[in-house]
Structure 1
Amino acid sequence: MSPAFNPRSDTNDYVLVEKFCLDKYRFSHGDVVVFSSPSNHKEKHIKRIIGLPGDWIGTPNLDDVLKVPEGHFWVEGDNSVSSLDSRSFGPIPLGLIRGRVTHVVWPPQRMGRVERETNQRPLSSLQDRPEFY
């Protein structure tokens, strides 16, 4: 697990990844997912889903609001200062998602369920916002 996912963790964490969610891409805001890097498919990242297809996302780095396209997710690391995420490479295609992280299984002192958190930063989910972009 990357420190950008969780500032209290390190890269030696082992996690349990549930793949049944891939059947119909059943994900929610706040889910932690493993996905292949958009630029190098051999590289895997772990980030939190901030935006689902159709959501409007405020991007503080870009000073803009954008709509997550169909077939994509907006993901961000919990440690926004050092995270390489959708703010860097844009929305990620659903096809790059490899599963949902459910538990940390190693090291023993960090063992436990990975909680879904939706209060990472304000999300603009205005499904009926007029299309003017």
Structure 2
Amino acid sequence: MATPNYWWGVAKKCFTVGIISLTVSDRFASVSRISGHSMSPTFNPARSYFKDYVLVEKFCLKNYNFSRGDVIIFLSPSNHKERHVKRIIAMPGDWLNLSDSHDTVNIPQGHCWVEGDDVASSADSRSSGPVSDSLLN
């Protein structure tokens, strides 16, 4: 039978590993599961049995260093418990011609325009407008 000192040592090591893991996943990188088909065929192709997982690097969050074409994870503007994965189409200051309504939109500072790769099954900036930088996760 193990001594109390042994269990105390195990508990300290588990706590240390937990704190380090939490710090790494919060500040540097984490793994996230992708569900839904709004980013198909890039993620979760229609015929795929397995869900896709992505490594989310978080270094760009410090300075909001994003560019067109980047795939981002952000909190839903309508439900802050949901996370969405979309591609950045336009950056702050860009003018964007909307194909379905023939309108032109200026992307305000602190926002970006995001769209899913599968237009038919994607709820994105076309329905909710530009996404605020404060929602980037």
1:88 to partner: Cα distance? 0.7
Question: Which has the larger share of strand?
Answer: 1
Greater RCO between the two (CA within 8 Å, min separation 6)? 1
In the other structure, the counterpart of 1:102 is: none
1:34 aligns with 2:51: no
Distance in 2 of aligned mates of 1:45 and 1:93: 13
Distance in 2 of aligned mates of 1:81 and 1:4: 8
Q: Percent identical across equivalent pairs?
A: 53
Distance in 1 of aligned mates of 2:42 and 2:86: 14
1:9 to partner: Cα distance? 3.3
* 1:43-74 superposed Cα distances (whole Å, 9 cap, x missing partner): 00000000000001111122201100100000
In the other structure, the counterpart of 2:91 is: 52
Q: Give the SS at the match of 1:81.
A: helix
Question: Which has the larger share of helix?
Answer: 2
Distance in 2 of aligned mates of 1:13 and 1:28: 23
Larger radius of gyration: 2
Over aligned residue pairs, what C-alpha RMSD do you find? 1.4
Q: Give the SS at the match of 1:5.
A: coil
Does structure 2 conserve the Cα–Cα contact (< 8 Å) formed by 1:61 and 1:87?
Answer: no
Distance in 1 of aligned mates of 2:53 and 2:89: 23
* 1:22-62 superposed Cα distances (whole Å, 9 cap, x missing partner): 10100000000000000001100000000000001111122
1:16 aligns with 2:55: yes
Does structure 1 conserve the Cα–Cα contact (< 8 Å) formed by 2:42 and 2:117?
Answer: no
1:84 aligns with 2:118: no
Q: Which amino acid aligns with 2:72?
A: V
Q: Give the SS at the match of 1:88.
A: helix
Gaps of 5+ in 1: 99-133
Does structure 2 conserve the Cα–Cα contact (< 8 Å) formed by 1:4 and 1:83?
Answer: yes
